[in-house]
């Protein structure tokens, strides 16, 4: 049976005046990040992956979580997710995420500089046809559902990847605030992109390993 092994969870928070990030009364944007590996992959590495984004929200003193996290909770009951080789119930899984939200830490300095420098990875098909289509048609392939997002998404993509796509998998590292926000904006709207997009980092990322979370103390 194939299943994902999770070794750590982090919730990152940031505030911004960027109009692409409409926020609620709390003003916090959240990134939900997981260190995970597939049980069938050897040697096993627990790389970090952003799995969801949301605004911080609390209702009746209960922290609200994005739909993607609740879907993963159903997976834990089905055995498709295990925390560091142990079983966990869906309810227990949700509790670990709510605790991670309580322990969230900022990903931007007060001056707006990113403290975390993730890698943006895009996957544009298994052959040259998809890359050629993106290079040729450009903005027309972005956001078929929402026309108002088409140009902003394409502009963010071209700031991160200014040249033509030449291979299926292309990556770039983000270091400045503008490119970081571009990357998050693309991830938030990844269903409206003509390629698959991921925000990732290596398992030894010092920023994400900070703190005294018990799952990493022995690592």
- Closest to 175 in 3D by CA, of 160, 161, 197, 163: 160
Among 46, 74, 109, give the residue marking a domain's end: 109
For residue 69, pLDDT beyond 70: yes
More confident residue, 131 or 85: 131
- Its domain, for residue 100, covers 4-109
Tell me, yes or no, whether 140 and 66 share the same domain.
no
Strand partners, 123: 169, 196
Q: What is the structure's pLDDT at 25?
A: 60
More confident residue, 211 or 174: 174
Report the Cα 66 to chain-centroid distance in Å.
Answer: 12
Cis peptide before 102 (omega within 30 of 0): no
How many domains are contained in the chain?
2
What whole-number percentage of the chain has pLDDT above 70?
Answer: 88
Q: What is the structure's pLDDT at 198?
A: 96
- Closest to 125 in 3D by CA, of 170, 91, 95, 174: 170
Establish if 150 belongs to a structural domain: yes
Among 85, 109, 133, give the residue marking a domain's end: 109
Where residue 74 falls among pLDDT bands split at 50, 70, 90? confident
As a whole number of angstroms, the distance between CA 197 and CA 169 comes to 10
Please tell me what DSSP assigns to residue 216: H
Instruction: Tell me the C-alpha to C-alpha distance, in Å, between residue 21 and each of 59, 80, 87, 157.
Output: 21, 32, 36, 16
Tell me, yes or no, whether 10 and 53 share the same domain.
yes
Q: Are 124 and 170 in contact, with CB atoms under 8 Å apart?
A: yes
Establish if 64 belongs to a structural domain: yes
Q: What is the pTM of this model?
A: 0.89
Tell me, yes or no, whether 130 and 69 share the same domain.
no
Tell me, yes or no, whether 166 and 98 share the same domain.
no
Tell me, yes or no, whether 8 and 63 share the same domain.
yes
Q: What is the structure's pLDDT at 90?
A: 85
For residue 214, pLDDT beyond 70: no
Establish if 166 belongs to a structural domain: yes
Tell me, yes or no, whether 154 and 181 share the same domain.
yes
Establish if 138 belongs to a structural domain: yes
Q: Are 107 and 31 in contact, with CB atoms under 8 Å apart?
A: yes
Q: What is the structure's pLDDT at 215?
A: 46
More confident residue, 49 or 23: 49
71 CB contacts (<8 Å, ≥6 apart)? none
Where residue 212 falls among pLDDT bands split at 50, 70, 90? very low
For residue 217, pLDDT beyond 70: no
Establish if 218 belongs to a structural domain: no
Among 58, 76, 109, give the residue marking a domain's end: 109
Alpha helices, H only, the chain? 67-77, 90-102, 128-137, 147-160, 177-188, 214-217
Tell me, yes or no, whether 157 and 83 share the same domain.
no
pLDDT digits 0-9 by tens, 102-118: 999 999 999 999 999 99
Tell me, yes or no, whether 81 and 38 share the same domain.
yes
Establish if 114 belongs to a structural domain: no
Q: What is the structure's pLDDT at 24?
A: 63
Q: DSSP letters of 178-212?
A: HHHHHHHHHHHTGGGSSSEEEEEE-TT-TTTT-S-
Query: What integer is the mean pLDDT of 193-201?
Result: 95
Tell me, yes or no, whether 44 and 62 share the same domain.
yes
As a whole number of angstroms, the distance between CA 36 and CA 46 comes to 5
Establish if 211 belongs to a structural domain: no
Q: What is the structure's pLDDT at 219?
A: 34
As a whole number of angstroms, the distance between CA 174 and CA 169 comes to 17
Establish if 36 belongs to a structural domain: yes
Cα-Cα-Cα-Cα dihedral sign, residues 27, 150, 174, 215: positive
Tell me, yes or no, whether 9 and 102 share the same domain.
yes
Query: What integer is the mean pLDDT of 123-152?
Result: 89
End-to-end CA distance of the chain: 25
pLDDT digits 0-9 by tens, 17-36: 888 987 666 689 999 999 98
């Amino acid at each position: 049976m194939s299943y994902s092994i999770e070794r750590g969870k982090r919730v990152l928070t940031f505030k911004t005046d960027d109009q692409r990030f409409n926020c609620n009364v709390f003003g916090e944007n959240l990134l939900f990040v997981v260190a995970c590996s597939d049980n069938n992959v050897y040697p096993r590495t627990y790389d970090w992956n952003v799995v969801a984004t949301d605004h911080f929200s609390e209702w009746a003193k209960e922290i609200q979580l994005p739909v993607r996290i609740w879907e993963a909770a159903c997976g834990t009951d089905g055995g498709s997710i295990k925390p560091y080789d142990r079983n966990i119930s869906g309810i227990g899984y949700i509790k670990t995420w709510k605790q991670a939200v309580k322990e969230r830490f900022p990903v931007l300095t007060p001056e707006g500089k990113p403290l975390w420098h993730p890698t943006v990875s895009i996957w544009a098909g298994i052959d040259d046809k998809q890359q050629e289509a993106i290079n040729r048609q450009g903005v027309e392939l972005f956001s078929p559902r929402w026309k108002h997002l088409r140009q902003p998404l394409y502009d963010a993509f071209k700031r991160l990847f200014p040249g033509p796509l030449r291979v299926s998998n292309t990556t770039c590292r983000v270091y400045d605030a503008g490119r970081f926000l571009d990357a998050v904006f693309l991830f938030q709207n990844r269903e409206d992109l003509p390629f698959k997009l991921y925000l990732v980092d290596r398992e030894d990322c010092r920023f994400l390993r900070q703190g005294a979370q018990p799952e990493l103390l022995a690592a």
